[in-house]
Structure 1
Amino acid sequence: MSSAAVLSRREFTVGGLLLATGLAAAACGGPSGSPAVGRTLRIGQFWPPTSLDPGKAGGESQFFLQPAYDPLIYRSADGSYQPRLATAWRYLGTGNTEFEITLRDGVTFVDGSPLTADGLKASIEHFRRSAGQAAAFLAPIATMTPRGRLVLRLKLNQPHPLLPSLFTQDFLAGDVISPAGVAAPAELATRSAGAGPYVLLPGETVAGDHYTYGPNPKYWNPAGRFYDKITIKVLPNENTALAALKTAQVDVVAGSYAIAGGAKAAGFKVASSPAIVMGLQLNDRAGTLSPPLADVRVRQALNYAVDRAKITSALLGEYGVPVDQPSAPGEDGYSEQPFYTHDPGKARQLLAAAGVGGGFALPVVVPSTPAFPGELVQAIASDLQQVGVTLRITAKEPAAANSSLTQFPASSMGWGVLPAYFMGRGLWLRDAIGMNPFHSSDPELESLDRRAAAADEHSRPALDKQIVRRVVELGWFLPVCLSPGLLFYRDTVGVDPVPGKPFPSIASWHPAG
């Protein structure tokens, strides 16, 4: 899974962009007061980190990075941006091609070195060199110029309207690494080099099993640290994780809808956050492998054929949201008005008009992983069969499935909830990273994207809505449901989630009351 954990929830996997883990956004902090003494926060997490180097990490690593790395800007639980290591930020001029960051004075990293504009430049350069999720979104930066000790100015070779979002914990690029850490990147796999409230304790950590964090004595805001210790235990079996919660071995578990009922019945608090848009991608839009897909009427017919409400209710119950668009409630591009109602009759009419009224077979590749449940694929297949389209499903190990996208006209879809600008670069523009394997292009869509990238924050939402509408009209995707990120926790912990928003950062969780 994952929310900004979880984009959160946001790792490239077959058929979609997971830049989220259900924990993608962080809060601006917990309640005020003195640091907790003698208190330990114990967390159970399904995935181990791909890396403890923020520059190489993916969305599932956010749990393990949030305690040790303060970002430049905090995206709070209500979605607002709050100062953190940066006290101010702004675009210069118009067109979103020049950006300036002013750093907080007096901040030191865990190794004692000061936070400076030169150090921030080195940290961003490390992200750009690395293969993590943030690297592609930093590509438009052409030059970085320190202007004094605490101000860094970025010039871009193309418009980028969401640099403030990029420099939050959502995308990891805001997690500033110390100059010493950047100079010895191999050590970042076993030691933290941030300016966050905690520091990884290597002597109390076993990679792939458990990770332990203690107070960072150099932290600039000790009143914003609420525990003496944080431990994160990797629990790859959800039932085992729920048992650990029941026996008080852990205080919080990140899990899926599969154990939501059991957690709720046991009296634990349950928080959900819209995290991943799930369904199918119709990648072969030119009909190279599947000629019927070249006709937009066929792709639209497949969308009309699926009963999203029924599938979502059966699979996700009260925690799922049916969606027919590559967006989610709360995002600027989202439309409250559905585009595709469940209408098998209309689907058959469109197929007949396209010359495939007798039906056709559609090969699709899906990963053999719980992150994309087989029940969803089978439910989609059942609905499509009713209009004469037969899914031929091939399940492969995730890496193999991802590398074979050009061999199948369709694939699974699992996208972290993201703004349209980021989704375009990951999913539907001509050079989208990995998830547009046939390099499909639409002149209207590309033009709308260019206009939105250069637009100010007041006019961009309307353009984002046009972008999403165009993607839906093209029928390049068959989204079905919005799968949630879920947290299950004891009443001794204050998580402070905001309904419909990504979860707060671990660093802001606090003892209840």
Structure 2
Amino acid sequence: MPSPAVLSRRDFTRGGLLLAAGLTAAAACGGPSGSSTSDHTLRIGQYWPPTSLDPAKAGGESQFFLQPAYDPLIYRAADGSYRPRLATAWRYLGTGNTEFELTLRDGVTFADGSPLTADGLKASIDHFRKSAGQAAAFLAPIATTTPQGRLVLRLSLNQPHPLLPTLFTQDYLAGNVISPAGVANPADLATRTFGAGPYVLLPGETVANDHYTYGPNPKYWNTGGRFYDRITVKVLPNENTALAALKTGQVDVVGGSYAIAGGAKAAGFKVAASPAIVMGLQLNDRAGTLSPPLADVRVRQALNYAVDRAKITSALLGEYGVPVDQPSAPGEDGYDEQPFYTHDPGKARQLLTAAGVAGGFTLPVVIPSTPAFPGDLAQAIASDLQQVGVVLRITAKEPSSANTALTQFPASSMGWGVLPAYFMGRGLWLRDAIGMNPFHSSDPELESLDRRAAAADEHARPALDKQIIRRVVELGWFLPVCLSPGMLFYHDTVGVDPVAGKPFPSVTAWHPAG
């Protein structure tokens, strides 16, 4: 969550948080205690190969391939706090969130030998801004990048952006600083690494789309922050095979979903879960162009009342799912602890009757034919809607075709990565949102709240974010059902140190247990 530029957040966060595993060439003995880190190699499995090793063009599925080689400007710790990394200080200047300044760590050298400077950071950020990658949309408000001496860079924005510190962490690709040599050779960026992180990609020991090997960066500024001699990442798009690899000790850590959680737990592995994806349906046709009933907010609200979120979540996700009626998650500033939609078929029928569709209607919906959006979820929603007279007509398409068909269907699948309200607005519900607002729906109150929140300071913004999420829920533009977790399964020889309710720590923070 993802994440086209902002917004195929489906892909961004599935890639970044819902990992699946692969195998390494070496195998150890079997069982949870059989994995060996005696050779100081961390073996990771990953579901997707990287779309590119250029951070400016990569997708969220590339995070495990980028984190070893690229230090972020700001490090988001496991507890959610922000800590210095390549930047030692950062601040907004004045009020309104339109001027931002970063102070860089002195003495840092990229793996290729070039020094970290404000001029180099300017070139890196400008490369992100010009590339058609996920980070470009988040960087769009930046008008100019101006060095203020050797180690200070000032960003001037043409509109407020309240989350630049968040954007420059390892959770968002823009936090990865690329060396001047990398920026000058963009073709090489796709297959090599040009960072200042603890590791470098070893091309001679890497086979694209199969396995990637990282060795120590001899110029790394913080050698005490490197816990392994090597990291290997193997691509294997099959969860059951990944679990088997974990059992035989071929890998130390795999990612996956609740589908293999029971097997991993039964085998004695550690299980970590992190809120990852809000799943359900998007009711995109809010003007009723393709489905006239959807133009009435009472109809959209009726659909939300008709769905039994607790039942569906329990059936599909068991103990790992969280029922949600909003596009947010516990712990996010915009999350509202008070539910808006209870399961109330009677109220749903009343609203449909008041809107003039007491006899119900047929609602076409397009979903991707991928495990990322389980067909069982669509069928479960369809079953509940049928109880109030609404027939969900489901069309499954190959994922890229499903995304390009959004304007041909009044509704579509919903699978968003958990993000702050500011980021979600730009990708999902503001009028000019990229990708996930195909009919360019607009609500004056929502747009006004967003403008106020974007310019607000960190003390005032959480309350405004909650109002934003509440307004989105009231409009009934979406039909969220459950919060699906990202999951990691790992041997007790590895210290991942997750914090409940928070995103997983960077792979560079994982360490030998004890």
TM-score (norm 2): 0.95
Taking the TM superposition and a 5 Å limit, the aligned residue runs for 1:348-359 are: 348-359=349-360
SS at structure 2 position matched to 1:341: coil
Q: Deviations over 1:420-455 (max 9, x none)?
A: 000000000000011000000000000000000000
1:132 CA displacement: 1.5
Alignment of 1:85-124 (within 5 A): 85-124=86-125
Q: Distance in 1 between matches of 2:233 and 2:11?
A: 21
CA distance in 1, matches of 2:348, 2:369: 29
User: Which amino acid in 1 is paired with 2:210?
Assistant: D
Could you tell me how far apart the structure 1 residues matched to 2:264 and 2:145 are?
49
1:254-275, CA deviations, whole angstroms, 9 ceiling, x for partnerless residues? 1011100000000000000000
Name 1:79's counterpart in structure 2.
80
Aligned partners of 1:90, 1:13: CA distance in 2, in Å? 24
For residues 262-320 of structure 1, the C-alpha deviation after alignment (integer angstroms, 9 at most, x for no partner) is 00000000000000000000000000000000000000000000000000000000110
Matched, 1:248 2:274: no
Which amino acid is the alignment partner of residue 241 of structure 1? A
SS of residue in 1 equivalent to 2:358: coil
**d(CA) in 1 for partners of 2:49, 2:415:** 19
Aligned position for 2:431? 430
Distance 2:174 2:9 in 1: 21
Residue-by-residue CA offset, 1:213-248 (whole Å, 9 max, x unaligned): 000000000010000000001110100000000000
Equivalence map 1:95-494=2 (5 Å): 95-494=96-495
Tell me, what secondary structure is at the counterpart of 2:302? Answer: helix
1:191 counterpart letter in structure 2: R
| Percent identity over paired residues | 86
> C-alpha separation between the residues in 2 aligned to 1:200 and 1:24?
21
C-alpha distance in structure 2 between counterparts of 1:273 and 1:187, whole Å? 34
Aligned length, in residue pairs: 496
Helix, strand or coil: the match of 1:134?
helix
After superposition, the Cα gap between the structure-2 partners of 1:13 and 1:84, relative to the gap in structure 1 and judged at 3 Å, is closer
Q: Tell me the SS of whatever aligns to 1:19.
A: helix
User: How much has 1:38 moved relative to structure 2?
Assistant: 3.7
Contact 1:23 1:503 in 2 (8 A): no
Amino acid in the other structure paired with 1:148: G
CA RMSD of aligned residues (A): 1.4
What letter corresponds to residue 329 of structure 1 in structure 2?
P
Q: Is the contact made by 2:370 and 2:398 (CA closer than 8 Å) also made in structure 1? A: yes
Distance 1:21-1:497 versus aligned 2 partners, 3 A rule: farther
Paired residues of 1:23 and 1:502 also in contact (CA < 8 A): no
How far is 1:20 from its partner? 2.2
Contact 1:11 1:59 in 2 (8 A): no
* 2:13 paired residue number: 20
Matched position secondary structure for 1:177: coil
Deviations 1:349-395 (A, max 9, x none): 00000000000000000001110000000000000000000011000
1:375 partner SS: helix
1:42 match: 43
Separation in 1 of the partners of 2:82 and 2:58? 23
Deviation at 1:17, TM superposition (A): 4.5
Unaligned ranges ≥5, structure 1? 1-5, 26-35
- Normalising by structure 1, we get a TM-score of 0.95
Q: Is the 8 A contact 1:214 1:228 kept in 2?
A: yes
Conserved 8 A contact 1:71-1:168: yes
Could you tell me whether the CA contact under 8 Å between 2:450 and 2:468 is conserved in 1?
A: yes
For the residue of structure 2 that corresponds to 1:49, the secondary structure is coil
CA distance in structure 2 between the aligned counterparts of 1:171 and 1:145, rounded to whole angstroms: 22
Give, in angstroms, the shift of residue 21 of structure 1. Answer: 4.2
What secondary structure, in the 3-state scheme, does the structure 2 residue paired with 1:430 have? Answer: coil
The CA distance in 1 between the partners of 2:379 and 2:17, in whole Å, is 29
The code of the aligned residue for 1:305 comes to A
Q: Secondary structure at the match of 1:199?
A: strand
Amino acid at match of 1:230: I
Partner in structure 2 of residue 3 of structure 1: none
What CA distance in whole angstroms lies between the structure 2 residues aligned with 1:165 and 1:429?
Answer: 20
The separation in 2 between residues aligned to 1:78 and 1:433, in whole angstroms, is: 31
Q: What SS does the corresponding residue of 1:425 show, helix, strand or coil?
A: helix
For residue 493 of structure 2, what is the amino acid of its counterpart? T
- Deviation digits for residues 32-90 of structure 1 (CA, Å, limit 9, x no counterpart): xxxx9841000111111111110001111101100000000011111110100000000
Taking structure 1 as reference, are residues 454 and 17 closer, same or farther at Cα in structure 2, changes over 3 Å only?
farther
- What residue identity is the alignment partner of 2:108? V
* SS of residue paired to 2:173: coil
Q: How far has the Cα of 1:16 moved from its partner?
A: 5.4
Rounded to whole Å, the distance in 1 between the matches of 2:17 and 2:123 is: 24
Quote the offset at 1:131 in angstroms. Answer: 1.6
CA distance in 2, matches of 1:258, 1:86: 40
Describe the shift of the 1:14–1:38 C-alpha distance in structure 2 as closer, same or farther (beyond 3 A).
Answer: closer
SS of equivalent residue, structure 2 residue 480: strand
Paired with 2:455 and 2:468, the residues of 1 have a C-alpha distance of: 14
The verdict on how the C-alpha distance between 1:21 and 1:74 changes in structure 2, with shifts beyond 3 A counting, is farther
Letter in 2 for 1:116: T
CA contact (8 A) 1:452 1:460 kept: yes
Distance 1:376 1:22, change over 3 A: same
Equivalent residue for 2:22? none
Matched residue of 2:134: which SS? coil
- Give 3-state SS (helix, strand or coil) of 2:465's partner: helix
User: d(CA) in 2 for partners of 1:401 and 1:503?
Assistant: 29
Q: Is the 8 A contact 1:73 1:169 kept in 2?
A: yes
Instruction: State the Cα deviation string for residues 133-162 of structure 1 (Å, max 9, x = none).
Output: 110010100111100000000000000000
SS of residue matched to 2:459: coil
C-alpha distance in 2, partners of 1:281/1:12? 19
Counterpart of 1:135, as a letter, is A
Query: Contact 1:22–1:502 (CA<8 Å) still a contact in 2?
Result: no
Cα separation, partners in 2 of 1:132 and 1:266, compared to 1, 3 Å? same
